[in-house]
Structure 1
C-alpha cells in the first residue's frame, strides 16, 4: 500500500477520492487549509514540506476558478522535487482546456504543461463537466426572482458523475505514472438550455428558460464543442438519473 496525498481532500471530488483510497488500504493524507492533521495552504506552500515527507503519490484535486492554480502547482511541484519520494502526481483537468479560451481553462492547461515539464512522474486525466456543476450554474442564474433564467444559446455539455471520476482517479493513484490518459466524458450530450429546464422542473421551480446568444471567442469555442468528448462517452450516469438520486437524498 502507498502513502498518498490528496490536495483538496475535503472537497466534492477530493473527499470521494479519499474515501476510495482509504477503503483500498492506503495511507492517505488529506491536504487542505482546514485539515486537522495536514493543514496546508497551497497559495504559499505553508505546511507542504511536512505533508509531503515520505509520500509516493499525490492526487491533485485542489482548484479554484478565482485564480492561482498555477501558483499552487508551482509550490506542489517544488516540494515534490525536494521530497525525492514522489513518483506520480495525478492531476484532474478538464476536456477543452487547450481549445476553449476561458480564463479558468487557460490556467488549468498551464498547470498541465507545468507538470509535464517538471521532470516528475505525472498522470493527467481530463473530464467533462460534473452534473453538480450544471446544477450550480442553473441555481446561480435562477436566484433573481421574476426574471427568465438566461442560459447560453447553442452551448452543449456532456456532464459526468463526480463519483465515476473519483473511481478513475483512485485507479490512477499508483506509484507508476501514466502520462496523459484517455479523457472521460458523460454518457450524453445535451444543450445547457435542455438541462436547465430539466433541473428547474426537478426542483419544483416554474421558471422560464431563455436561450441567450452571447459574443466572443470563448462562447464561439463552447458552441463549436471544444468542451465535449463524444468519442470518450464512458460515463454511465445520465443527468436525469443524477436528478432522481439528488431528489431521493
Structure 2
C-alpha cells in the first residue's frame, strides 16, 4: 500500500498533466464531432426542439393538460450549453440544436430528454448526483485551496496545517464522487436517447450511428473530468500521508 501512495506522490504531477491533456483533447474532439454532424441533415427534417417535444410527449412530460411534471423546452444561447434543469422542469437547447434539423441536434436533444425521463422515473444515480451537487460545488472550489493552505501552513504549524489539509481532502472527495456518479447518469441518458430515436423512427440507421458518435464523444469529457478529479484527490491524500 505504501508503494501505491509513493507512486502518486512521485508521479502525481505527470499524471495530472496527462489528465489535463486528455480533457482538452476530449473537449476539442467533442466540438469537432458535433460540428461535423451539425452539417448532416436528418431525413425527417425535424429540429432539435421538435425532437425534444415529441419525446417528452411520448413520456407524458410535455404538451398535455394538467400534467403533474410538465417539462418546458426553451432555447438558450451558446454552443453545447444544452442542459436539463430538474428544479425548473425545463429542458434548454442551445442555438445550434434548438432550430437545427441535423443529426447532432437530434442526438443532443434526445440526450437531454433522457435526463428529464431519469428525473421523472427517479433514476437512483441521478438522485444521488442531485444530492451531491451543492457539497461537490463547494468541495471543487474550496477543497484544493484548503489543502494547499494546509500544506503551506504545515511547515509552521504542523497540527493545524495537517487538519486543514484533511478538511480540504474531505471537501474535494465530494467533488470526485460527483464526477463519478455523473458517469452512469450521462451514459444512461445517451443509451435512452439512442433507443428512443430508434424506436420512434426519428432517425435512420445511418443517422443513428452519427448521433452515437456525437454522444460518445461528449461522454469522454465526463470521463476525463472524473479521471482528473481522482488523480488530484489521490495526490492530496499521498501528500497528507507524508506529513503525518
Q: TM-score, normalised by structure 1?
A: 0.28
Greater helix share, 1 or 2? 2
The structure with the largest alpha-carbon Rg is 2
Greater strand share, 1 or 2? 1
Where relative contact order (Cα < 8 A, 6+ residues apart) is larger, the structure is: 2
Q: TM-score, normalised by structure 2?
A: 0.29
